[in-house]
Amino acid sequence: MSNLTMDQIETKEGIGLAGIHIHSHDVLDEGAENVIAHIRNMKHIDVVYPEVNAIFERNPNPTGVLPHNPVHSHVFGNGLFQLQLEMAKLSPKLYQPIDKVTLLDRDYLKEFKEAVGMGSDIRIVPKINLLNGEFAGETLLNRVVNYRGEPVQHWICPNGPHVLEMWSKTIAAITETYGLNTHMIDHIRYPDWTGTDGQFQPDQLFSCFCPQCVKIMSDKGMKSDQVIAQMAEIELLLLDKKYDTVVSLLLESPLLQQWIRFRQDQVSRFIERLISEVKQINPTIELWLDLWPPAYAWMLGQDYSRLTKVSQMLKHFPYHKLGGGADVQSLIRGFADTTAEREQAFTAFKRLFALPYNQTYSDFVANGFPISFVREQNQAARLLSHPNTVIHSGVQIWNISSDDVIEATREAKLSVADDWIYYCYGWAELDCLRELGKKIEAQPRKG
């Protein structure tokens, strides 16, 4: 590991949108004033992204403790709504219940906004998870369904009959209640292979076959039963450890390629309709995108080129230490038992996602992807996105050393990305935040 310092990072003109994520437990447990003081000590943070609703994720993930939280050593996300806003009244047919046990009638976003203060140099952009979480109401009508016909727990479909109304009304209400008209939307995709509490659930990747999706497939001339049959074939091939054959089928089958494009079309169509709907309610509302890195986004239903035609700002997370945010190790261990099988599966994985790294699986487990992954994925995001899209590189700042954070920030800064966003405040050591504050001097901003 090289001992990089921020002094070695070439000057790059940013656009004034460097940011960091926070969770409700940060403010509720540490106090809003303490949180904003620590963030201000970083000196270069322009935007804070408070989570509007939880996902089923351990905080921090996958292990460790919250290093400066005086109340909790760790927190398990419960998938519930984190604001004091009754979604059930806005959208009674589908909504997220309020996390009353955690919030205890406190409005954490209001507290944080008041701590930041009027006329502050720090902007607040709420971050909303749209299709993943705990939902109530007519959930079965809106649930993602896998190729076996089983509902996928905690995932709703972009074609669900009540999903668009729920989020358009809720986003408009958040703007009206808190006076914040820009929001970042996340989990705008179909499920990956990681289920609730980090469990490996590959079945949910092969979705959605809810009645709405099946009808749209039929309208497009797709035979859903034939798609399902090929997915069953993939299952048998994986049981036989024929990883490379599976990759060839996914990449070369016209039917499966049509299914992949179908998923991209449905996610894009949902976001296009959502942005149109919220702007009809309030024309000042703007939605930014939180996407998976380009290496994986296409498989999960995210089409950079189409999505960035309706939203001109995106963040993705090329965390090289974590394999780009994907739970690669869970996937490999789920299908391969021996060392030799895991090496074969990892080689097939790299081919499927066009990752040109001459490394073994054991090396990946020890070190993650090469640091060049950061720059390469930002370049891919730039090439795939609509011209003038503002691109932010996610930077992992927990469970790694300060040197690793600085190195990742350096790669983000030297890439074609416009700025970067750290994930996340409460999971990171305060020493790491202070180190970043010392070594990253504020850069000239555009505009």
How many angstroms separate the CA atoms of 442 and 42, rounded? 10
C-beta separation of 26 from 69 below 8 A: yes
Which CATH number covers residue 417? 3.20.20.80
Average pLDDT on 345-357 reads 98
Tell me the C-alpha distance between 398 and 20, whole Å: 12
Instruction: Give the pLDDT confidence score for residue 343 in this predicted structure.
Output: 98
pTM recorded for the entire structure: 0.94
H or E, element range at 231: helix 224-239
The confidence band for 149, taking pLDDT boundaries of 50, 70 and 90, is: very high
Within a domain: 12: no
- 138, pLDDT greater than 90: yes
- Give the H/E segment covering residue 40: helix 32-40
Orientation of helix 243-252 relative to helix 224-239, angle to 10°:
160
* Maximum separation of any 2 CA atoms in the chain, in Å: 62
Would 1 be classed as within a structural domain? no
The token pair that represents 162 in the structure block: 């009540």
What is the distance between the alpha carbons of residues 9 and 409, in angstroms, rounded to a whole number? 9
With bands split at pLDDT 50, 70 and 90, how would you rate the model's confidence at 197? low
Average pLDDT of the chain to the nearest whole number: 92
417 belongs to a structural domain: yes
Condensed to tens digits (0 to 9), the pLDDT of residues 314-325 reads 999 999 999 999
- Cα 213 from Cα 209, distance rounded (Å): 6
Task: Assess if residue 11 is contained within a domain.
Answer: no
What pLDDT sits at residue 5?
35
- Looking at residue 2, what is its pLDDT? 29
Residue 21 tokens, joined: 């994520």
- Judged against a pLDDT cut of 80, whether residue 174 lies above it is answered with yes
- The one-letter amino acid code at 255 reads L
Higher pLDDT: 3 or 272? It is 272
Instruction: Please give the share of the chain, as a percent, with pLDDT higher than 90.
Output: 86
What range defines the domain where residue 55 resides? Answer: 17-439
Give the C-alpha separation, 405 to 413, whole Å.
12
pLDDT digits 0-9 by tens, 73-111: 999 999 999 999 999 999 999 999 999 988 999 999 999
Q: What percent of the chain is modeled with pLDDT above 70? A: 94
**Phi-psi region for residue 426, left (φ > 0), alpha (ψ -120 to 50) or beta?**
alpha
Average pLDDT over residues 206-210: 97
d(CA 24, CA 22): 7
The pLDDT, as a whole number, for residue 15 is 56
8 Å CB contact between 29 and 72: yes
Q: What is the pLDDT at residue 1? A: 25
pLDDT band at 436 (very low <50, low <70, confident <90, very high): confident
Distance CA 275, CA 255 (A): 30
- pLDDT for residue 310: 97
The 3-state DSSP composition of the chain as helix, strand, coil percent (nearest 5) reads: 45, 15, 40
Alpha-carbon torsion angle 423, 425, 430, 432, nearest 10: 20
pLDDT beyond 50 at 10: no
Assess whether pLDDT exceeds 90 at residue 441: no
Asked, for residue 6, whether it belongs to a domain, the answer is: no
Burial class (CB in 10 A: 0-12, 13-18, 19+), 434: middle
Which segments within 175-279 are labelled E, that is strand?
182-186
The mean pLDDT value for 218-230 works out to: 97
Q: Is the pLDDT assigned to residue 446 strictly greater than 90? A: no
Q: Which amino acid is at 285?
A: I
Write down the pLDDT at residue 4: 29
**Interval 357-375: pLDDT, tens:** 999 999 999 999 999 999 9
Angle at 55 between CA 353 and CA 334, to 5 degrees: 45
Residue 253 falls inside a structural domain: yes
Task: Assess if residue 146 is contained within a domain.
Answer: yes
- What's the pLDDT at 199? 77
Q: How many domains in the chain?
A: 1
How confident is residue 3, by pLDDT bands cut at 50, 70 and 90?
Answer: very low
Residue 376 domain-assigned (yes or no): yes
Nearest Cα neighbor of 276 from 264, 286, 288, 262 is: 286
Taking residues 248-277, report their average pLDDT: 98
pLDDT at residue number 16: 65
